[in-house]
């Protein structure tokens, strides 16, 4: 399967769940975004590395980085290789003495290591198809806002299962325009649930 390279483009605080964050991966040379909801500790581990902060004592991911380097193991890439029941799965693709070794990992841990070791992040097309969202132009976002007003209720007034598919698509674009990636992930999951029910 062809791999698609991603970059970390944002780390945003959850508006609806105070202890959750969304790490947003962007398709290189593309408009698709892959929002992944993570916990506060996981977000902190990624943010510390992105901001190049040096804690007094090494965090778990810093310790793992040092261990890999000490034993001559190179982290070649992080691969987000599966999505099951809304949970993302990842693997660390390592090189030890010319031999490729893959290690199962939580996606948030894999991303925290990728930032520290400056290795590329990849996923597959089927994951972007299932969970990715497309960032549209500014005018598309305005249309989504106007459409929400025409529905007669502001975003968040009703549970997602009370919106039709077209309204959900518009809410999705509105959430993306506002960079509310955690909300966008919820809407995307509701749309995917409906598609799964229809098939």
Considering the domain architecture, whether residues 73 and 111 belong to the same structural domain is answered as yes
What's the rounded Cα separation, in Å, for the pair 54 and 181? 28
**Quick one: pLDDT at residue 152?**
38
Is 127 found in the same domain as 140?
A: no
pLDDT at 63: 94
Which ranges of 132-180 does DSSP label H, i.e. alpha helix?
138-150, 165-177
Q: How does pLDDT run across 173-182, given as a tens digit for each residue?
A: 777 777 677 7
Please state whether beta strands 73-84 and 121-124 pair in parallel, antiparallel, or not at all (unpaired). Answer: parallel
Do both 34 and 127 map to the same domain?
yes
Domain boundary among 84, 114, 131: 131
Give residue 47's domain range: 3-131
When divided into structural domains, the chain yields a total of 2
56 and 74 part of one domain: yes
Does 144 share its domain with 48? no
Q: Which residues of the chain have pLDDT under 50?
A: 138-156, 199
Does residue 7 sit in helix, strand or coil?
Answer: strand
CATH of the domain at 34: 3.10.690.10
pLDDT score at 130? 92
pLDDT of res. 51: 85
Instruction: Give the pLDDT of residue 157.
Output: 54
pLDDT, tens digit, 9 for 90 and up, residues 66-104: 999 999 999 999 999 999 998 999 999 999 999 999 999
Which pair of structure tokens corresponds to residue 196?
Answer: 């799964």
């Amino acid at each position: 399967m062809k791999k698609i390279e991603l970059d970390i483009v944002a780390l945003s605080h959850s508006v609806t769940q105070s202890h959750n964050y969304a790490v947003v991966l962007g398709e290189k040379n593309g408009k698709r975004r892959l929002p992944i909801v993570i916990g506060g500790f996981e977000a902190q581990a990624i943010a510390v590395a992105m901001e190049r902060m040096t804690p007094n004592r090494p965090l778990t991911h810093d310790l793992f980085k040092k261990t890999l380097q000490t034993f001559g193991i190179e982290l070649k890439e992080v691969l987000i290789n599966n999505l099951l029941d809304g949970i993302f799965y990842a693997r660390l693709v390592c090189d030890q003495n010319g031999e490729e070794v893959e290690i199962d990992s939580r996606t948030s841990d894999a991303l925290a290591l990728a930032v520290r070791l400056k290795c590329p992040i990849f996923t597959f097309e089927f994951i972007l198809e299932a969970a990715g969202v497309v960032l549209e132009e500014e005018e598309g976002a305005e249309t989504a806002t106007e459409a929400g007003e025409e529905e007669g209720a502001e975003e968040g007034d009703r549970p997602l299962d009370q919106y039709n598919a077209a309204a959900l698509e518009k809410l999705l674009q509105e959430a993306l325009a506002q960079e509310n990636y955690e909300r966008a992930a919820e809407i995307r999951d509701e749309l995917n649930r409906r598609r799964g029910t229809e098939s």
